[in-house]
Structure 1
Amino acid sequence: MLLHQGIGLDRFNELPHRRAVYALFECCSCVGWSARLADGRSYATHAALLSRADEELDALPESEIDQVLQGHPRIGARARSLPSSREQCAVWVDDAAVMRTLGEAAAAYEERFGFRYVWCSDGRDGRSLLADLTARMGNDLDRERRVRTSELVKITRTRLERMLGPEGGFPAY
């Protein structure tokens, strides 16, 4: 769950540096990425922030990608936790057998590639996730790193959009 939801671009641009880093960290779990984005303020539009966020995430070294992955639960690690919130890039699974199969497949993926499996589901179910995970097991390491980073970009963008709220912001109450 994000603490900074719907804060609007103007409020984000005006946050003290430390608070801006914290708000961004909630979206990506990487201090370096968060600090670089906070340093780049002020952003004129949502699109400008989102574009810069995508570029920064896409350019992260593996050491910082490892930090980002720590912000994502292991698929199948606990019941109904893909991940724990019902965000756009989450999968909600009630079937214990599917969860067990996903957990086993995710462990095999992590053993093969050396990093945690992530997937922006866009509302698809656990069976779709399993199909994606199975297909990605056929990738070589370089290809899978690109796919993994692409998925992280999608997930982070969703979280940033939730942090900002609608273009133009919410009315002040």
Structure 2
Amino acid sequence: MHQGIGLEAFNAMPMRRAVHAVYECCCCVPLAAELARGRPYPDHESLFREADALLFSLGEESIDTILQAYPDIGRRPGLAGTAQRYREHFGFGFVMFVNGVDDDQVLATMSDRMHNDAETERKIMRNELARINRARLQRMLGPEGGYDNW
């Protein structure tokens, strides 16, 4: 995954490289292409807002395609059974922004979300995808203003 490339470098990248860099973050070619086409971005937040808007404008079929690229959280020890029940209940794998979250918290959240209706859960899942995308885009860009040159 591209890391710490800086906003200025991202804005200046050839289209193909920019699409590739964004695709590594969001797993969706149409979203990556549109985000790359929207360059130049004046700051990180503008890029993040556009990424969110594009994600929330995608149809359910595109979201389902994105979900195919996400790792199965059920591979983690202790989560397999609940993850399988979740998948059977909703028809897609559990998605959660898990940075800094232990398996007990993931399991509790997954269990709580099993009580949602399908429409509510799809909305929550999109919000989680947006959080994941933002974290990955932040890692791709690095800090606002770039890294110091030593």
Scaled by the length of structure 1, the TM-score of the pair is 0.83
Count of aligned residue pairs for this structure pair = 150
Letter in 2 for 1:27: C
Q: Give deviations 1:52-87, integer Å, cap 9, x for gaps.
A: 00111122111111222123111122x5xxxxxxxx
Which whole-Å CA distance do the structure 1 matches of 2:92 and 2:144 have between them? 35
Q: How does 1:113-132 map to 2 (within 5 A)?
A: 113-132=90-109
Q: How far did 1:172 drift?
A: 4.7
CA-based RMSD: 1.2
Is contact 2:74-2:84 (8 Å) kept? no
Q: Give deviations 1:80-132, integer Å, cap 9, x for gaps.
A: xxxxxxxxxxxxxxxxxxx1x31111111111111111111241210000000
Letter in 2 for 1:155: I
Which whole-Å CA distance do the structure 2 matches of 1:133 and 1:66 have between them? 19
Aligned to 2:21: 23
Which whole-Å CA distance do the structure 2 matches of 1:66 and 1:17 have between them? 25
Is contact 1:57-1:153 (8 Å) kept? yes
Q: Which segments of structure 1 move beyond 6 Å, counting only runs of 4 or more?
A: none
Aligned to 1:96: none
Give the structure with the higher percent helix.
2
* SS of equivalent to 2:73: coil
Letter in 1 for 2:105: S
**How high is the sequence identity, in percent, across the aligned residues?**
47
Q: Runs of 5+ in structure 2 lacking a partner?
A: none
Q: Give deviations 1:133-163, integer Å, cap 9, x for gaps.
A: 0000000000000000000000110000000
* SS of equivalent to 1:76: helix
Scaled by the length of structure 2, the TM-score of the pair is 0.95
Q: Higher relative CO (CA 8 A, sep ≥ 6), structure 1 or 2? A: 2
